[in-house]
Amino acid sequence: MLRRRALLAAPLLLPALTQIPKTAAQEPWPSRPIRLIIPFAPGGSSDIAARIVAPRLTALLGQPLLIENRGGAGGNIAAELVARAPADGYTLFQGNIGILAVNPTLYRNLSWNPLTDLVPVSHLLSVFYVLVAPMDRPWDSVAALLTAAKARPETLSAGNSGIGSMGHLASVLLDHMAGLKTIPVPYRGGGPLANDVLAGKLDFSFSTAPTVLPLIEAGRLRALAVATATRSALLPAVPTVAEAGVPGFEVPNWDGWLAPRGTPPAVVATLNAAMRQVLTDPEVVREFAKRGMEATPSAPEALGAEIAQRIAQFAPIVRATGATPD
């Protein structure tokens, strides 16, 4: 899980928010509603987190933060929309590690570049993946799932929240490390994915904790393992994939906010200060934590460096697994 970054004390943030920046047209910012484009359908961890944060940012900035879900094409539709939007601070993108760090390698002719077409604002959260299966499947452990998958190659369906998502990479990585051949089935977000795992339309999936924890706690989904280096305090009886039979397996996941390249630095600074204030609010921290998320505000430069580092890290992994958008 992403380490908590150094935070500015809330009293120091208030002055920054009172210094209203102006756009290129010299109008005070913000003077109208702000759109936050989320590249997934409602119901997943990205959407859940945004809806916790949005009303608090609205109160701080004095203008509505409107959430717009634009799923599809592994997040590239939403990312390109923001990359091509006016650089005035009124269109923002909530991207995750898969879209920002895996897609540049996964898609050979990407129409946008996370390092040149978008400017980072702040990390938002880190969250862990859970390997889940329907209750009616015979596998009740990672070992049993691996045995079934090996006995029936190219038969078991592995759902994911979109091609290029870390859930997709997790299942491809499991295939690669455990010698399996499963069938990836992409969705437009974690909500629809969880619904179909619950309905038994899929054999398993790597799903984010906020999406599936309520279903696991209600006994409606079976948690086989977590994709972290150590066990989660929220699921202490559930082993990691590594300890359950696939040594070295770990899949990180985080979300961050970005804006179109060229967005005025004063606007980025004001957004960053507002996000730090919201994400260090004890109530928000608690709301995130009980859903399996960690609030992780950061400097814009830290998010930019993380994206560049993860692109370099995942490029050889994506190439080695042979993952494709098809």
Residue 1 lies in a domain: no
Residue 12, pLDDT > 90, answer no
28-74 confidence digits (pLDDT tens): 999 999 999 999 999 999 999 999 999 999 999 999 999 999 998 99
Q: Give the CATH number of the domain where residue 314 resides.
A: 3.40.190.150
Residue 247 lies in a domain: no
Q: What is the predicted pLDDT for the residue at 164? A: 82
Residue 309 backbone phi and psi in degrees, to 5: -65, -45
Query: What does the CA dihedral 37, 41, 43, 47 come to, rounded to 10 degrees?
Result: -10
Query: Residue 26 — pLDDT band, cuts 50, 70, 90?
Result: low
% residues pLDDT > 90 (the chain): 85
Residue 56 lies in a domain: yes
Instruction: State whether 15 and 64 are in the same domain.
Output: yes
Instruction: State whether 111 and 17 are in the same domain.
Output: yes
Residue 5 lies in a domain: no
Residue 19, pLDDT > 90, answer no
Query: Residue 22 — pLDDT band, cuts 50, 70, 90?
Result: low
Domain of 72 in residue numbering reads as: 10-21+31-126+253-321
Residue 235 lies in a domain: no
Residue 132 host element (H or E): strand 129-134
Q: What is the predicted pLDDT for the residue at 276? A: 98
Residue 85, pLDDT > 60, answer yes
Instruction: State whether 101 and 146 are in the same domain.
Output: no
Instruction: State whether 15 and 106 are in the same domain.
Output: yes
Q: What is the predicted pLDDT for the residue at 27? A: 79
Instruction: State whether 15 and 111 are in the same domain.
Output: yes
Query: Residue 6 — pLDDT band, cuts 50, 70, 90?
Result: very low
Residue 65 lies in a domain: yes
233-282 confidence digits (pLDDT tens): 999 999 999 999 999 999 999 999 999 999 999 999 999 999 999 999 99
Residue 10, pLDDT > 60, answer no
Query: Residue 2 — pLDDT band, cuts 50, 70, 90?
Result: very low
pTM as predicted:
0.85
Q: What is the predicted pLDDT for the residue at 325? A: 83
185-226 confidence digits (pLDDT tens): 999 899 999 999 999 999 999 999 999 999 999 999 999 999
Instruction: State whether 59 and 119 are in the same domain.
Output: yes
Q: Give the CATH number of the domain where residue 141 resides.
A: 3.40.190.10
DSSP string, 77-134: HHHHHHHTS-SSSSEEEEEEHIIIIIHHHH-TT-S--TTTTEEEEEEEEEE-EEEEEE
Residue 118 lies in a domain: yes
Number of independent structural domains in the chain: 2
Residues 207 and 130 sit within 8 Å (Cβ to Cβ) = yes
Of 8 and 154, the structure prediction assigns the larger pLDDT to 154
Residue 13, pLDDT > 80, answer no
Instruction: State whether 268 and 308 are in the same domain.
Output: yes
Residue 102, pLDDT > 60, answer yes
Q: Does residue 30 have a cis bond before it (omega within 30 degrees)?
A: yes
Instruction: State whether 17 and 110 are in the same domain.
Output: yes
- Residue 282: which residues within 8 A CB-CB, separation 6 or more? none
Residue 236 lies in a domain: no
Instruction: State whether 304 and 201 are in the same domain.
Output: no
Instruction: State whether 200 and 258 are in the same domain.
Output: no
Instruction: State whether 262 and 113 are in the same domain.
Output: yes
Residue 232, pLDDT > 70, answer yes
Domain boundary among 184, 207, 226: 226
Per DSSP, the three-state class of 229 is coil
Instruction: State whether 114 and 135 are in the same domain.
Output: no
Q: What is the predicted pLDDT for the residue at 25? A: 53
